[in-house]
Amino acid sequence: MAGNNFESLFRSLRIHSNDNEDLRNIFDAVVAIYSQWEHQYNDRELQQICLSRMKDISQIYRHHLRFTQLRIDFADRFTQWAYMYLFMMRHVHIVHYALDVTVQERLMYVNPSGLPPAVCMIGGGPGSDILGLCVFLRKHGFTATLTGQVDVLDKCIGWNWSWETLQPLLPNNYRYGIPRVSYRQFDYTVNELSLTNQNIVSGAYIVTMIKSLSPVAAWLRTVQQSYRWSYRSDGRLRETIDKWHSVFSILKHMTAGAFLLYIDNQTGPQREILMETVRCFKFKVIFDRVLHNVRMPTEIFSPEARRLMNMMNFRPCTTAGTNEVILLRKLSM
């Protein structure tokens, strides 16, 4: 059922909305959160707190993601805002850009009258995946409900603060088009999903793993004998995962016909983690592509956003680097 419903979304290609305008409106909502804080905090103190969080999170994401001892408190609202300011829009943009590529290459087609999909985000943070999906759907004609049920499985359910704060500041198309987003506790170091999370995954039309396997890879490196080494056909060493982990459980409980959208950095063993898991089940690879240095258009920054950027002297990341995009569909056993 999930596959049939979601497949009906993709039928006819028509451009209906300006994605740059949608991206601008989303980032303006991030700016509006800071504007609200300006009425609650001393200006200088607020600026210093936010700059401190931005520097910390920038170091984590640019250099030290794999070092678990350098993790910071993502339940802290200023840290969450720093992430939204620096990296969320790049994340939103790469999701809708990747889906756009599949449409342009006639691999998927959008039917605006199709049923809105139930979505499960693995490690969804502030809701970046669902915003990227909705920018894509609106561009191709969806004007009413953009999604059905939305669930986020994340180790830090404190991220729900960011969504609950951001959502009322979004344009009506997004405020009314996205139902309540539910955050559920999920720990990728636990092998099996809880019964609740099993039901969420099995009920999803699309599961997203956007930048969520990097911490899994970091954790597996700390687990003794979780890797073995072998040689690729080109003679290079490759890491092979020996340990059953939560990614197996996610793919195991996906319903036949459901889709999995994976986007992650090309560096590191993330792809191997996914594809070795995929080989244990029946999946069809619909799209497998490397996207190089996808750049987010700077036109998305409004005058108000540019004012804040100049005041902070710290600019959002607009280039996504080199990412692998894989779209899979689970087949019947």
Taking only the tens place, the pLDDT of each residue in 197-235 is: 999 999 998 899 998 887 777 666 666 554 444 445 565
The pTM assigned to this predicted structure is 0.84
Higher pLDDT, 301 or 332: 301
- Per residue in 3-22, pLDDT tens? 444 444 433 333 344 678 99
Instruction: Supply the pLDDT for residue 308.
Output: 97
Report how far residue 211's alpha carbon sits from residue 209's, in angstroms, rounded to the nearest whole number.
Answer: 6
CATH number for the segment(s) 2-16+90-296+317-330? 3.40.50.150
Query: Could you count the other beta carbons within 10 Å of the beta carbon of residue 276?
Result: 16
List residues bridging with 240 in a β-sheet: 228
pLDDT tens digit sequence for 291-312: 888 888 889 999 999 999 999 9
22: which 2 tokens? 């949608």
Residue 99: count other Cβ atoms within 10 Å of its Cβ: 26
| pLDDT, mean over the chain | 81
Q: Kindly report, residue by residue over 255-292, the tens digit of the pLDDT.
A: 998 999 999 888 778 888 888 889 889 999 988 988 88
How many Cα atoms are found within 13 Å in the side-chain-facing hemisphere of 122? 29
Confidence of residue 63 (pLDDT cuts 50, 70, 90): low
